[in-house]
Structures are given as C-alpha cells and as structure tokens.
C-alpha cells in the first residue's frame, strides 16, 4: 500500500519531511507548490515517500546527469509525479531543503525545464554553487524562496 498523501496548503504539515534541518520551511515550500497547482489547474498535489517512487527518482536523476552532470548527495524525502493539461511534472523534495521540479511539456520542446527552489534557511548545495543565479521570491507559506532553473535540451 502506497503512503501517498495530498499536501494541505491551508494547514501546513511537515509530515514526511521531519528529518530535514529546515523541515518547517521545506513544508512551506511544498505547500506553496500545492496551492499553485490547486489554484491554476484544480489539481490536488500528492506526494509519496522517495523510497516508494524509484521511477520518478530515476527519471529526474537521468535528466540532471545527462543535461548538467548534476548528482545530488542530499537524501530525497518525497516525490510527486503527475500531468496537468499538456505538462508532465516531476518533483523531488530533498532533506537539505531543496525542492526540484521537472516541467516537461509533451507537445512543445521549447517549454521544458528543471527548476530549483531553496527553502529558507538552507545553504546553496555544493552541486549548484556557482552554476546558477538564484532569484528571491516571497511566499506567505514558505518565507523567502530562492529559485533558479535550466532549460532541458534532450528528449526524455
């Protein structure tokens, strides 16, 4: 039986993220994503433990490795994988506070990217340091989020 759960963005919970040193901020970041998908697509953002979602992890890791030679040392805690309209989404939330998403439009190769969001209070991970510029964004749920992205060039 899968331990998936719908992320509640009204009552933010750090369930599944407790081992993170920035669990509260990471929970806020996850809730921020859930609110976005509910407001924009009426989609319930569901996460599963990373231990139960090897396919999603393999997919994300392959893109990171092949596109930018990035392999994160941080432990993945949870993932989410779904499609809204013509966009396939994959998320990984890491123990160090990183939230990563792969946005892959199925019919438009120009709209495919990997996004990084850093929870408030986390350091930029060594794998991203010096490689990306991070823009700051304020969130009621997550405090200050630092984000960056790169465009996916390959087919996955």
Range of the domain at 113: 5-151
pLDDT tens column, 20-41: 999 999 999 999 999 999 999 9
Q: What is the mean pLDDT of residues 103-117?
A: 95
- For residue 106, what pLDDT is reported? 94
Pairing verdict, β 143-151 and 5-6: unpaired
Answer whether residue 3 shows pLDDT above 90. Answer: no
Separation CA 27–CA 93 (nearest Å): 9
pLDDT tens column, 64-96: 999 999 999 999 999 999 999 999 999 999 999
| Selection from 132, 131, 152 nearest residue 63 by Cα | 152
Element (H, E) at 19: none
Q: Could you tell me the pTM of the whole model? A: 0.96
Three-state DSSP at 148 gives strand
Counted domains in the chain: 1
Answer whether residue 1 shows pLDDT above 90. Answer: no
Residue 78 within any structural domain of the chain: yes
Q: Are 82 and 47 in contact (CB under 8 A)?
A: no
Residue 156 within any structural domain of the chain: no
């Amino acid at each position: 039986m899968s331990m998936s759960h719908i992320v509640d963005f009204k009552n933010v919970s750090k369930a599944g993220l407790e081992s993170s040193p920035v669990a509260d901020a990471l929970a806020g970041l996850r809730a921020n994503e859930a609110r976005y998908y509910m407001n924009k697509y009426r989609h319930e953002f569901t996460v599963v433990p990373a231990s139960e979602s090897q396919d999603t992890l393999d997919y994300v890791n392959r893109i990171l490795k092949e596109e930018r030679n990035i392999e994160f040392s941080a432990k993945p805690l949870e993932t989410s994988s779904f499609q809204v309209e013509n966009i396939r989404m994959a998320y990984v939330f890491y123990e160090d506070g990183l939230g990563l998403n792969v946005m892959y439009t199925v019919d438009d190769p120009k709209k495919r990217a990997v996004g990084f969001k850093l929870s408030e209070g986390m350091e930029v991970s060594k794998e991203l340091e010096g490689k990306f510029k991070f823009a700051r964004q304020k969130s009621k749920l997550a405090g200050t989020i630092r984000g960056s992205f790169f465009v996916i060039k390959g087919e996955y």
